[in-house]
Structure 1
Amino acid sequence: MLVPPGKPVYENLATSYVLLDALISDLCEGGFSGIVEVVLRGADGHVIINQGKVAGSFDGSGSKQEATTVSDLAARARAERGRISVYGCSIETAEALSGCANAEPLYTRLSTEFADIERMISKLGRERDREWFIEIYAEGAQTGLVHIKDGSLWAFSSRAEGDSQAIVKDLIAECNSAGGIFDVYFRRPLIDASQNSAEEAGITTGEQTLDFAPAEPSTADLHDEADFTKEPAHSQPQNGDESHRNVPISSVSESTSLPETPIELPDLVSLAIKAESIAISPDNGARADRKRDTGDALSMATIKQLLGEIAGAIEKSVRAVEPRDTFAMYLRAGQLKIADRYPFLDPFGAEFEYMTGEIAFVGRATPTEFIDGMTEALRLAMNSITDTSSQPSRLRARVSDDLHNLLESRKDEFEPFGLDHAIEWILR
């Protein structure tokens, strides 16, 4: 768990004479916001408190944290010799920590070598159907957590808490300079940390019980636009500094888009199964539209299958040469780079998914758009894999041979959709 540099309240209290459950009850009664850290022999425990409510309790070491109850953690503290420390933090940081601990992973261990954090933060800010959490681990040993909710951003790092804009810029600069990795998590904003019911707790203080049960994340679609001018709906930090409130994502950077130069694909043959030429009149217009829709649907089914086989052939070739399975990651990176022009391929959306030679697509795109977008994404993935490979010549030769063998064996299926040209373009 990423722990912010909070203000020490108590440090190194011995579990032999401090009762953890009683301490937490007292902190909650005073409206405390912060983290209670329990260091034991086997593993560490953390209890997150937000405005006098237990927002989460977790047991484990490092990033391997599992939800537990305050009563279970208190029982372990009584049975083992350990230390208890209490650190105060802002309400926003407490909410970010508890939300991230109970969020669902979308991508893990993405490398800054092929994924742009700044661009990703900008993109996720427009996906308002979910809360987003980005854990960043820079090579310079700095870590940080970015929380995105309703188009607003809150962040802290292992060095600072409060000025989210400066913290994000510092994390990005360090990742760009020395490299780093990051994880992306999400959840539906259904449970506010301050509303987490204490009814599941194993302890009680007065009439209030204290503990936490993780919410089940939803899988809603992700396509509402963010209103970056909206005032964030978070409370102010405890220090009352107006400048450290959640900031609109658009203020983190003047321009968060990568300078992409559109790549013109070759003049591919027409991709749709064309409807018969008929004059559209009041009597036959609806019938013509139905024919076009049916033709496109038939085309897309075949195109998805064939493009899946092309992607699968590349993936198999890469696995034969490279020690790591990197194709899927580089394909997502390629999709992200062209998401502005082909939004249906956005890897953070819910329309497109690729897995081991098969494509699932539930969005809207013409056959031509789909082939053009996939061809470019595959080309970018191929270039990135080659650039980072220790055997680039062997890798490219293997992919070229396998794709040409696939084309030769299925030419009558590939040529009607111009996929023979698409293969040549991928290999350039």
Structure 2
Amino acid sequence: MMFPKDRTLYANLNTSFTSFDALIADLKERKLTGYIEITAPAYTGTLLLSEGEVVNAQELSGDKRTVGPEAARGVMERAAQKDGVINVYSAFPDVVLLLHRLMDSRPLYRDLTSAFTSLDRLISKLRSDGLTGYVEVHIGENEGAGIIYLAGGEPVESVFSSGGQMTNGQEALNAIVSTVNTSGGTFNVFVEAGDASAAGAGAAPPAKPQEDFRAELLAFWDDVISITESTVDGFAKPGRFLMAFREVLVSRAVTYPFLDPFAAEFSYAGGHISFDHPLPDDFNKALGDCLSDAVSKLAFQFKRADLETRVRSRLDGISEKHAAIIDRFGLRDDVQEFVA
């Protein structure tokens, strides 16, 4: 977590020459609301203060993150050692309160990429869900990082760091969105540990009896998609089909919401579909449309007018293998471009 700062009270105090107890007493008397930050090689410790009282803490040491009382003790101990740097910042009370709530947050989505996910759309999704949490943004090839804090789904504060410069507020939010649109990025979403509105986000609803023939239907689509994937990747760079297919899933999510990657309902990887929810009525139509779009997209990119013919040839025999399920669900119209 990066912390937004309103005003710097003390800058670059050396721990070797600073009485940390005296500093804490001074800030308590001032009733400071803000942060004390201690930095050292491969270490950053932060104490969160409200009205002069330490309410929470965070330690980052290498790849390890610690929060709460244990982190507060660690920061105090590091402040007593040599060659650390202390900075003290004020912050708005509502922001400090939100950060206190989010210190022990939990991940909701990890490693979303701008290649498949629009940051604007992600924020709209989180707004509609009314989530309280934050979005970590890592831009391009180490071109910067940002964080967007949300309360009840609304962005309330942002921090953007790039080239050694840090900005806050609306300026930071605008910079994050603009830079991601230009250079791309990856996103991680975290939510307040006790946020009831997020309890079901990205998770399957309570289990219900599975539909009849569900396994057979998914096995049919596994065969169709995986054979198409191996056909494409057989004469192209491995992974090209999956990339195109995922791009199509995102674009088709407007028509078929269950394909939305933020809903975490549908996924395809390693030759198998994962879908734990009840099958929507338009499930087969959606997959047929997406498969057709992906193959057409790739045929254009590769300048291979024969790609559909190659796929159709490889799928020869699928209609016999899955004849019962094709007839039961009337799938011929959905896959007629590929399965005779």
What TM-score comes out, normalization by structure 1 length?
0.60
Larger proportion of strand: 2
CA distance in 2, matches of 1:171, 1:100: 21
CA distance in 1, matches of 2:309, 2:87: 57
TM-superposed CA distance for 1:370, in Å, is 0.9
CA distance in 2, matches of 1:70, 1:346: 40
Report the counterpart of residue 186 of structure 1 in structure 2: 190
Say whether 1:162 aligns with 2:141: no
CA distance in 2, matches of 1:64, 1:392: 48
TM-superposed CA distance for 1:23, in Å, is 3.7
Q: Secondary structure at the match of 1:8?
A: strand
Report the counterpart of residue 163 of structure 2 in structure 1: none
> Are the aligned partners of 1:376 and 1:426 in contact in 2 as well (CA < 8 Å)?
no
- Percent identical among aligned pairs is 22
> Are the aligned partners of 1:311 and 1:378 in contact in 2 as well (CA < 8 Å)?
yes
Question: For 1:149-228, what aligned pairs fall within 5 Å after superposition?
Answer: 149-158=151-160, 159-163=166-170, 167-176=172-181, 178-188=182-192, 190=194, 220-222=199-201
Q: Out of 46-55 and 151-160, give the one that drifted further.
A: 46-55
Among 254, 257, 281, the residue aligned to 1:340: 254
Report the counterpart of residue 297 of structure 1 in structure 2: 211
TM-superposed CA distance for 1:181, in Å, is 1.0
Cα 1:324/1:335, change in 2 over 3 Å? closer
- How many residues end up aligned between the 2 structures? 321
Among 276, 283, 294, the residue aligned to 1:361: 276
CA distance in 2, matches of 1:132, 1:381: 34
Report the counterpart of residue 59 of structure 2 in structure 1: 58
> Are the aligned partners of 1:48 and 1:98 in contact in 2 as well (CA < 8 Å)?
yes
Among 117, 121, 128, the residue aligned to 1:126: 128
Q: Secondary structure at the match of 2:285?
A: helix
> Are the aligned partners of 2:253 and 2:259 in contact in 1 as well (CA < 8 Å)?
yes
Report the counterpart of residue 372 of structure 1 in structure 2: 285
CA distance in 2, matches of 1:132, 1:46: 19
> Are the aligned partners of 1:39 and 1:83 in contact in 2 as well (CA < 8 Å)?
yes
> Are the aligned partners of 2:14 and 2:86 in contact in 1 as well (CA < 8 Å)?
yes
CA distance in 2, matches of 1:175, 1:305: 38
CA distance in 2, matches of 1:115, 1:155: 22
CA distance in 2, matches of 1:92, 1:4: 12
Report the counterpart of residue 231 of structure 1 in structure 2: none
CA distance in 2, matches of 1:32, 1:351: 45
> Are the aligned partners of 1:38 and 1:46 in contact in 2 as well (CA < 8 Å)?
yes
CA distance in 2, matches of 1:99, 1:398: 56
Say whether 1:148 aligns with 2:131: no
> Are the aligned partners of 1:136 and 1:144 in contact in 2 as well (CA < 8 Å)?
yes
TM-superposed CA distance for 1:134, in Å, is 1.5
CA distance in 1, matches of 2:285, 2:324: 17
Unaligned runs of 5+ in 1: 192-216, 224-292
Q: Out of 378-387 and 149-158, give the one that drifted further.
A: 378-387
CA distance in 1, matches of 2:113, 2:91: 29
Cα 1:397/1:338, change in 2 over 3 Å? closer
TM-superposed CA distance for 1:352, in Å, is 3.9
What TM-score comes out, normalization by structure 2 length?
0.72
Cα 1:111/1:42, change in 2 over 3 Å? closer
CA distance in 2, matches of 1:101, 1:381: 41
Cα 1:219/1:174, change in 2 over 3 Å? closer
One-letter amino acid of the structure 2 residue matched with residue 184 of structure 1: N
TM-superposed CA distance for 1:44, in Å, is 2.5
CA distance in 2, matches of 1:180, 1:94: 30
TM-superposed CA distance for 1:403, in Å, is 5.6
> Are the aligned partners of 1:131 and 1:189 in contact in 2 as well (CA < 8 Å)?
no
Q: Out of 110-119 and 1-10, give the one that drifted further.
A: 1-10
One-letter amino acid of the structure 2 residue matched with residue 182 of structure 1: T
CA distance in 2, matches of 1:353, 1:307: 12
Deviation per CA, 1:24-74: give whole Å up to 9, x if none: 46535644333322122342223333554423312224x763435211222
One-letter amino acid of the structure 2 residue matched with residue 362 of structure 1: H
Cα 1:311/1:324, change in 2 over 3 Å? closer
> Are the aligned partners of 2:34 and 2:49 in contact in 1 as well (CA < 8 Å)?
yes
Report the counterpart of residue 4 of structure 2 in structure 1: 4
Cα 1:421/1:185, change in 2 over 3 Å? same
Deviation per CA, 1:285-321: give whole Å up to 9, x if none: xxxxxxxx99x92144432332234444456667775
Cα 1:360/1:170, change in 2 over 3 Å? same
Cα 1:167/1:354, change in 2 over 3 Å? same
Q: Secondary structure at the match of 1:32?
A: coil
One-letter amino acid of the structure 2 residue matched with residue 172 of structure 1: V
CA distance in 1, matches of 2:93, 2:290: 41
Report the counterpart of residue 77 of structure 1 in structure 2: 79
> Are the aligned partners of 2:45 and 2:57 in contact in 1 as well (CA < 8 Å)?
no
Unaligned runs of 5+ in 2: 161-165, 203-207
> Are the aligned partners of 1:317 and 1:402 in contact in 2 as well (CA < 8 Å)?
no
TM-superposed CA distance for 1:172, in Å, is 2.0
CA distance in 1, matches of 2:109, 2:336: 31
CA distance in 2, matches of 1:409, 1:365: 25
One-letter amino acid of the structure 1 residue matched with residue 286 of structure 2: G
Cα 1:10/1:371, change in 2 over 3 Å? same
TM-superposed CA distance for 1:422, in Å, is 4.2
Among 309, 315, 326, the residue aligned to 1:415: 326
CA distance in 2, matches of 1:398, 1:19: 77
